[in-house]
């Protein structure tokens, strides 16, 4: 069985690496015996060249939500620079497991949000990092639409912590104008850091009228993410070409 090489972006914030380590523990708990290694694109160690050389066989799984610049360019370029031809799994999104993880974090912040009746009166801001890639932003909007349709929220607005707008306060204003009874903010981000902190700060507002009623935590080491990483690993492993058999 090839190893699972988890490729994370990395951050100067130590909470990022701690979250990745906790997620790796979750993957190992779900599949004992599978070798799981971690490498980072930036800021953290070990980097990709330090890891791929000691793996006899592996599948690279990017810890990324959308197929944006990091997935399209940075990960393949880093693997090529390391002299690696490992198969690379798809990014995490979209997936029903991500929606389940978003539900989990919101229910932790506001337990009554597990009730369908409460969700039907609640508008949610899906707060993502944002991207200069229009396809990535379109994918986030599709996640928001599916989350509303499948989970019964009164409305789901998308906001971004970087790149173009709208920002969290804009999305909260839109939800209030739509007449929802309650508002919630759910970060569509994997680990704590600068952007999640920015989202949390923007979610409080300057008054009771502009702040969200509930603010969820980042996805973090949710068990649904560990399951999803293994799904992506399995799909890439099955699709990888096998070496031809030797003939006499």
In this structure, of 5-19, 58-72, 143-157, the range with the lowest mean pLDDT score is 58-72
Q: How confident is the model at residue 166 (pLDDT cuts 50, 70, 90)?
A: very high
Q: How far is CA 101 from CA 144, 227, 242, in A?
A: 13, 11, 34
Q: How far apart are CA 222 and CA 224, in angstroms?
A: 5
Mean pLDDT of 219-229: 98
pTM, full prediction: 0.92
Task: Give the tens place of pLDDT for each residue, 59-111.
Answer: 999 999 998 778 888 999 999 999 999 999 999 999 999 999 999 999 999 99
Alpha helices in the chain (DSSP H): 14-30, 48-52, 69, 75-81, 96-109, 116-119, 134-151, 168-177, 194-204, 223-239
Q: Evaluate if residue 164 carries a pLDDT over 90.
A: no
CA 24 to CA 17: how far, in whole Å?
10
Phi, psi of 222 (to 5 degrees): -65, 140
* pLDDT score recorded for residue 209: 55
Query: Are 104 and 139 a contacting pair, CB within 8 Å?
Result: no
On average, the pLDDT of the chain sits at 92
**For residue 9, pLDDT beyond 60:** yes
> Given a cut of 50, is residue 245 above it in pLDDT?
no
Determine contact, residues 91/62, Cβ cutoff 8 Å. Answer: yes
Residue 12 CA to residue 43 CA, distance in Å, equals 6
CA distance 223 to 199: 23
């Amino acid at each position: 069985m090839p190893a699972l090489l988890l490729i994370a972006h990395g951050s100067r914030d130590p909470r990022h690496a701690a979250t990745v380590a906790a997620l790796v523990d979750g993957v190992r708990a779900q599949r004992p015996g599978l070798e799981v290694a971690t490498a980072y694109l930036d800021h953290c160690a070990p980097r990709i060249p330090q890891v791929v050389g000691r793996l006899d066989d592996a599948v690279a799984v990017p810890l990324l939500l959308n197929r944006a610049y990091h997935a399209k360019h940075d990960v393949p370029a880093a693997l090529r620079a390391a002299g690696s031809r490992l198969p690379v799994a798809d990014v995490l999104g979209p997936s029903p497991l991500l929606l389940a993880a978003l539900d989990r974090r919101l229910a932790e912040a506001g337990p009554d949000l597990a009730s369908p009746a409460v969700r039907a009166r609640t508008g949610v801001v899906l707060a993502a990092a944002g991207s200069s890639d229009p396809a990535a932003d379109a994918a986030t909007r599709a996640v928001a639409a599916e989350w509303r349709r499948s989970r019964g929220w009164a409305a789901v607005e998308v906001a971004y912590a970087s790149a173009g707008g709208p920002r969290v306060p804009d999305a909260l204003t839109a939800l209030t104008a739509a007449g929802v009874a309650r508002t919630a903010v759910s970060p569509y981000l994997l680990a704590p850091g600068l952007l999640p902190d920015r989202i949390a700060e923007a979610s409080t507002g300057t008054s009771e009228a502009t702040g969200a009623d509930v603010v969820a935590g980042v996805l973090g080491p949710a068990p649904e993410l560990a399951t999803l990483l293994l799904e992506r690993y399995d799909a890439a492993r099955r699709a990888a070409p096998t070496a031809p058999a030797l003939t006499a």
